Amino acid sequence: MDIRNIAIIAHVDHGKTTLVDRILHTTKVFRENQDTGELIMDSNDLERERGITIFSKNAAVEYKGVKINVIDTPGHADFGGEVERVLKMADGVILLVDAFEGPMPQTRFVLQKALQLNLKPIVVINKVDKPNCRPDEVHDAVFELFFNLDATEEQLDFPTYYGSGKNGWFNDSLTQSEDIMPLMDGILKHVPPPVVSEGSLQLQITSLDYSSFLGRIAIGKVSRGTIKEGQPISLMQTDGVKKSRVRELYVFEGMGKKKVQEVVAGDLCAVVGLEDFNIGDTIADFENPEALPVISVDEPTMNMQFSINNSPFFGKDGKFVTSRHLRDRLIKETEKNLALKVVDTDSADSFMVYGRGILHLGILIETMRREGHELTIGQPQVITKEIDGKKCEPYETLVVDVPQEYASKVIDLVTRRKGEMLVMETKGEMQHLEFDIPSRGLLGLRTSMLTNTAGEAVMNHRFSEYKPWKGPIPGRNNGVLIAKEAGSTTAYSIDKLQDRGFFFVDPGEEVYRGMIIGENNKPGDLVVNPNEGKKLTNMRASGSDGTVSLPPKRLMTLEECMEYIQQDECIEVTPNYIRMRKVILDEEERKRQQKRMSAEAV
């Protein structure tokens, strides 16, 4: 059967998953009366809540007698590890670009990976129905991007399609067509069939799946030869060769998998029955095994300390609370999350976890807490390196689109955090700004930027390179309000403390000594007692005993907490609560520690 393998790549929110929906509906994967909803491929709860793709997924459709394997990839820079490895399964890519925003930082990142793998690109300019869109300018910008990324003559001669995934049409010109058939025909015409070399079996494992019934499942593309059910094979790993046997074989069909007897070179398949395999391993011939080059993934740029929950509320909320639970879960995550690294520390209760960024680590923590884990996480730190005898740190390219009246505030915020402006241009009513900024400077920047631009700023960033250390970057300006003792907060106390700052807790919430309950209006931390009740007498005065009117507490998401905390603070994460606290809960002990550190510094 004729086969095409195509990956869909784009910046976050440019419409990849919506395009996959259209392909699935056009090729009649579902019954006419079947209610599928939207964003069919984003099946994970976290993906649906956040409206982003986190895990790459496969679907297979049949169009005009040709099987098309479609791979939906994440658009966020933090999940670049997912994109890099699944591109190995594709022979062509659809580069999706928003007709207003044009190529964004992540577009550049994934396109560069695709061009290096010599994949055939098709450019799709989406959302041409949006007001003030500029498809022609965007087409020129995409061509310029290809040129800057050293695309070959053949790659520069890319076909372009215009349309709207939401309205269900794509055409090779700006005139509206009936449906997405012109694009489907373009895939058959421009994407080459898989290139198959002669020789014995080779299949590189590029993705993992798990079934409680079948166990771990290896997914990859058969590069050459044929793989059959029951066939003995060699599993080529970095540290040696294991002999094994294929128990069951599946190919992708629609949204699911279909059991088959054999799979020929060029098709994607799922293999059941292998023990202890890793991503990047090669399934090869039993007699004459030959390995494929190991998949390389960009290194992590940030680390965080994960430890067991050691707060006074330990064990009240979660199922998994011991260091053994924490260790097993983190090791399990590294099997399928290539960009993640876990290292033991001096303490048996703590682990250092290395990842691509705040979102990458935040998704892991959010997933763990939903599974019932309790843990404490420290402040995110960037990973420094020594290059040519100099201390170097990771830098990122930061792109901000903001209404013109707020542009000066954005420039001021970024330059204070050691950012340098590279580009400033006008896009319609928006100002387009590009900066080079140390990764440290991005911690906490999103919150202050949204506050200063009335929520109008759209900010994106991606790792660029390591450069010399830029020196200290100012962190949070204000101190925090810390609970003096354990107990239940009262409206009376919080009302009396209103002029000290704003609160992260409501009346009636349980707090403990050393827990962060609000932000101080001034620099420096302040220990307060939020649990004091009103002294009652039997005398009443009309008007003075009215109900207390309090503003609602400020809700902080997990990522906002990660950006907010300082060196001596940490976050307690449980299935139902996210609490910020001091690492040392006792106030006297904290003061002694500060004195010791000051003495050492002198």
Query: What is the number of alpha carbons within 13 Å of residue 587 lying toward its C-beta?
Result: 14
**451 is known to lie in a ligand binding site:** no
Contact 380, 404 (CB under 8 A): no
**506 is known to lie in a ligand binding site:** no
**13 is known to lie in a ligand binding site:** yes
Specify the DSSP class assigned to residue 435: E
* Identical fold between 302-382 and 386-468: yes
Helix (H) or strand (E) holding 67: strand 66-72
Helix (H) or strand (E) holding 330: helix 323-336
Q: Please name every residue paired with 520 in a beta bridge, in sequence order, or none if there are none.
A: 501
**17 is known to lie in a ligand binding site:** yes
As a CATH number, domain 302-382 is 3.30.70.870
What number is the average pLDDT over the span 65-74? 82
pLDDT in tens, 234-284: 888 877 888 888 888 888 887 677 888 888 888 888 888 887 777 788 888
Q: Three-state SS for 248?
A: strand
**45 is known to lie in a ligand binding site:** no
Give the pLDDT confidence score for residue 38 in this predicted structure: 44
C-alpha–C-alpha distance, residues 37 and 22, integer Å:
12
Q: Which fold has domain 3-190?
A: Rossmann fold (3.40.50)
Give the pLDDT confidence score for residue 82 in this predicted structure: 65
Tokens of 522: 């001034």
**127 is known to lie in a ligand binding site:** yes
Tokens of 575: 């299935």
Domain map (residue ranges) of the chain: 3-190, 202-285, 302-382, 386-468
Helix (H) or strand (E) holding 207: strand 202-211
Helix (H) or strand (E) holding 410: helix 407-416
pLDDT in tens, 97-132: 888 888 876 677 778 888 888 888 899 888 888 877
**128 is known to lie in a ligand binding site:** yes
pLDDT in tens, 42-66: 445 554 454 555 556 678 888 888 8
Amino acid at position 520, single letter: N
pLDDT in tens, 131-160: 778 888 889 988 988 888 888 888 888 899
**25 is known to lie in a ligand binding site:** no
Give the residue carrying structure tokens 């403990």: 512
Angle, CA of 294, 299 and 304, to the nearest 5°: 130
Contact 99, 138 (CB under 8 A): yes
Of the two residues 504 and 458, the one the predictor is more confident about is: 504
Length of the chain equals: 602
Sequence-distant (≥ 6) Cβ neighbours of residue 594 within 8 angstroms: none
pLDDT in tens, 316-328: 888 888 989 999 9
**360 is known to lie in a ligand binding site:** no
Of the two residues 459 and 106, the one the predictor is more confident about is: 459
Give the pLDDT confidence score for residue 482 in this predicted structure: 93
CATH class of 386-468: alpha beta
CATH class of 202-285: mainly beta
**16 is known to lie in a ligand binding site:** yes
